[in-house]
Amino acid sequence: MKLNPMTVDPQHRLLDRVFEVSIILKGINGVLELIGGVALLFVDPVQVRAWLSGITANMVGAHHHSPIWQWFQHLADALDTKATVFAAVYLLLHGVIKIVLVWALLREKMWAYPWMIAALVAFIAYQCYELLVHFSWWMLALTIFDIFIVGLTLREWQLHKARRAERLAAAEG
């Protein structure tokens, strides 16, 4: 199979673009998680609880039975120092891993492909546990997206290995 970008069929190019966009979205998500993790380290849980309570207070009325209102209220009630520190460390670790791996993938570093797959599989396993314990449509959507990215990452890794083998064969012959 010739993998020259000029001769690759449009479906290959489309999947390459989908992979790039998906990885960029993961990188943006990683940056937001990093910012959130840092913020949680410097904000007192009482302040976060007050902020979340303020959001839920604005939702009172016709919406107080909505799942979003109930989620915010539950989140505000559950916050304590231990939960906040756990959330901060989780977000920081998750964010750093994503940022490093996305950076490496966008630069086509071969080592990053298996590491991204392994990290996503670990995240997916945790997300599946969370889905069983506390079902959430957001968590389900994130898990499906991560499974999709694992598939795309496997595909890209295989393509890059084939391209590398093709270049080596051309250099030897």
Residue 108 identity (one-letter amino acid): E
Average pLDDT over residues 144-158: 94
Burial class (CB in 10 A: 0-12, 13-18, 19+), 56: buried
- Residue-wise pLDDT for 46-74, tens only, equals 777 677 667 666 655 545 666 666 666 66
- Residue-wise pLDDT for 31-48, tens only, equals 999 999 998 888 777 777
Q: What is the model's pLDDT at position 61?
A: 53
Burial class (CB in 10 A: 0-12, 13-18, 19+), 133: exposed
The answer to whether 23 and 155 have CB atoms below 8 angstroms apart is no
Dihedral angle sign, alpha carbons of residues 48, 52, 53, 57:
positive
Q: E-strand spans in the chain?
A: none
Average pLDDT over residues 121-141: 91
Q: Which two tokens stand for residue 101?
A: 């791996």
The answer to whether 98 and 149 have CB atoms below 8 angstroms apart is no
* 120: DSSP letter: H
Average pLDDT over residues 98-116: 95
Scanning the structure block, which residue is given the tokens 């270049």?
167
Domain ranges of the chain: 10-172
